[in-house]
Chains A and B, each alone.
Chain A
Amino acid sequence: MYVIKYRKIWFVLSGVLIALSAYTVFAYGFNLSIDFKGGTLTEVKYAERPVQAEIESKVSTLAIGRFSVRPSGDFNYIIRTKELSADEGLSLIETLNSPVVERQNSIGPTAGAELKSKAIKAIAVVVMMIVLFITFAFRKVSKPVSSWKYGLATIVALAHDVIVPTGIFVFLGHFMGVEIDLLFITGLLAILGYSVHDTIVVFDRVRENLRLNMEKNFNEDFKITVGKSVTQTFGRSINTSLTIFITLLALYLVGSPATEHFSLLLIIGIIIGTYSSIFVASPLLVTFYKLQKGPK
């Protein structure tokens, strides 16, 4: 099976993707939304939208510190500022010639910081629970690779599935202003759940094939068993992802603008997650097996 045979190619490819993502994160940093750093976001709508410079010069007369103005859709501007008090919020709208306020969200710095720590905890908890669960689910499979190694292979795939989409979004954040907000974290967690879903389909087959071999007293190289399992489940891995991909694509193309980036993240995540369960998690099992046996 080529997936197992050429595993070094996939490992290098994934390594490069992870390194690139890490580089992007360190070089550009996270473009955090007000969800995490606090502040006020005001989206206003004009019947006839004035030029951006006009809005900027108007906002700067208020002396409310740093701000950013970004056009949204055909009629709207999104203005990001520090957290505004009730009166400051009102005077901002007045200064802009009282356009229609589409939304105004204000988040205090404490609430933002709290959410940040909660988000990190949530990711840690999900990863931990899933690894524990996999170890439990595969507890009866201990030959030739012990059950916690299935868990370990899953963690590596999970890390892969979190790091790469994050890198892509940091990149998009730097060049297109896409923000890391609470929905991004939600999306990442959904990807985690899904990535495992896919990995389990393959591992479950490995589990079944190992049991069948034992029943038949059939001695087969572990490499072959994993390769066979990947081949047998290849179609369904692709198809289960495809069904989700179809609905997500619809959501991305015609869905609400509020969930546009969210669905893009999920699409990227589904693709990366499917790739990682076939090309990272399964070959890793073989590598673990070889490490355990020692060099030939």
Chain B
Amino acid sequence: MRKHVIWSVVLIAMFVLLGYFLVTQERSGAPYPFRFGLDLVGGTELVYIADTSKVSDVGGAMQSLKEVIERRVNIFGVSEPLVQTEHAGIFSGNADERLIVELPGVKDIELAKKLIGETPILEFRLAKPEASTIASGTPVAIDDIFLPAELTGRYLAHARVEFDPNTGVALVGLEFTSEGADLFAKITRDNIGKPLAVILDGVILSAPVIQSEITGGKAQITGSFTPEEAKALVRNLNYGALPVPISLATSQTIGASLGDVALKSGMQAGIIGFFVLVLFLIIWYRLPGLIASVALVSYIILSLAVFKLIPVTLTAAGLAGFILSIGMAVDANVLIFERTKEELKRGKSISDALHEGFRRAWLSIRDSNISSIITAVVLFWLGTSAVKGFALTLGLGVLISMFTAITVSRTFLFAVAPKSESKLKRFLFSNGLHVRN
């Protein structure tokens, strides 16, 4: 028993410290704030599908796509934009590569869409052997005429406006990265005498015939640019050209006021639910119920700390998952206390009954929690961000509650469990409507 008292003190000290951590992290500028989803703080989420059918290095293309979009998003001056990729395949359950852009606070979704949509796609493509005539300015059937592009905007280091010294016409000068320069040299070396088309956003700008190998990684795009057009193109290219074409699959904008209501009412529901639950536990399960309530407080503190540290993005559904998990967290306690009551009825001492209660309830707690974890994992897989939030809070909740409802409440209960018996003590450890023992 002394052992349990010492452990109880240690646990309480730990939870107080964690609680203190939670409070201090709520100050502005603290390194571990809560992260709220767009549906709670307002903002815009754009999900793009990337067409990677024409590139061989899908992972690399997606990585550079992410970097390009990040650079572009940063010009909006949004605080904490989030750009992430989701790969196709059996684990994600997606049929295609996706790019998710979250812009907290951006309400002008059309502007956001346009800014991202304006990102140019620059490709250098060789003609297929069978294609004979190539007219510049043709927007149609590019895939019929050209081989897939190897050299794309991904390899671009820098672009600038230049002018033809003879005609004074505006040009766009390109400088490739060292990797791009090697690729460009190889393409020009192997294909002397053939046309190399410069294609921007699916339109052929020019298709000059390769005269000789070009080393040094520099190229020029000629087209009938006005100086303004050349400038705009250079700006867009410098913010990054897209390595693969993308198309908008879904977009979502939530106004800040709607999110605010969702957050406040969600928190209110959590608080009310918690207090009613505690009331029920104490009335029905008496002293163990009180201990379970303390364990529940430790569950909430621990969960919130984990949410901050991972960090878990809290959405409206995630908040619902957390509130649901508060109810589920005491399930193990209910199973244990009911079992303890049975053992008490059989005439066991309080201490023995408690031990048996924990031991015997364990199997059903373990098995039923495993099924909840299976569900949470599948839900996470199904997930769009809203569902992922729910799955994550639910799954973490089950794991954390195994610790608080079993380990923590056992330590506390054994610390207060009396060695001697009396009517009052037996009453305190019994539960339900069966007062007589």
Contact = CB atoms under 8 A, between A and B. Distances in A.
Partners in one complex: yes
Which size class do A's interface residues fall under? 35 or more
| Residue among B110, B281, B360, B381 facing the most chain A CB atoms (10 A cut-off) | B110
Contacts of A166: none
A16 interface: no
A239 B255 contact: no
A87 B257 CA distance: 24
B289 to A, nearest CB: 11
Nearest to B277: A246
B262 A201 contact: no
B342 interface: yes
B338 A236 contact: yes
Interface string A107-151: 110110011001101100110011001100100000000000000
Nearest to A109: B249
B320 A107 contact: no
Interface stretch (A54-62, A220-228, A251-259, A287-295): A251-259
Contacts, number: 226
Contacts of A198: 368
Q: Is the interface of B mostly helix, strand, loop or mixed?
A: helix
B307 interface: no
Contacts of A205: 364
Given A86-B113, A104-B253, A121-B93, A183 B317 contact: yes
B374 A251 contact: no
A243 to B, nearest CB: 5
Interface stretch (A4-12, A23-31, A186-194): A186-194
Contacts of B266: 251, 255-256, 259
Contact of B320 (A126, A134, A263): A263
Contact of B372 (A197, A257, A262): A197
A257 B94 CA distance: 29
Interface in A249-296: 249-251, 253-259, 262-263, 266
A199 B216 CA distance: 71
Given A196-B368, A197-B331, A266-B324, A256 B265 contact: yes
B394 A190 contact: yes
- Say what secondary structure dominates the interface of chain A: helix
Contact of B367 (A129, A200, A240, A257): A200
Interface string A170-193: 000000000000110110011011
A232 B372 contact: no
A138 to B, nearest CB: 9
Interface centre among A89, A119, A193, A200 (most CB of B within 10 A): A193
A159 interface: no
A185 B386 CA distance: 12
B212 interface: no
8 contacts: A103-B252, A104-B252, A186-B387, A190-B390, A247-B274, A255-B320, A256-B263, A258-B39
Given A122-B382, A256-B261, 10 more contacts: A89-B110, A102-B257, A121-B93, A183-B386, A185-B382, A197-B331, A198-B368, A243-B277, A247-B270, A248-B273
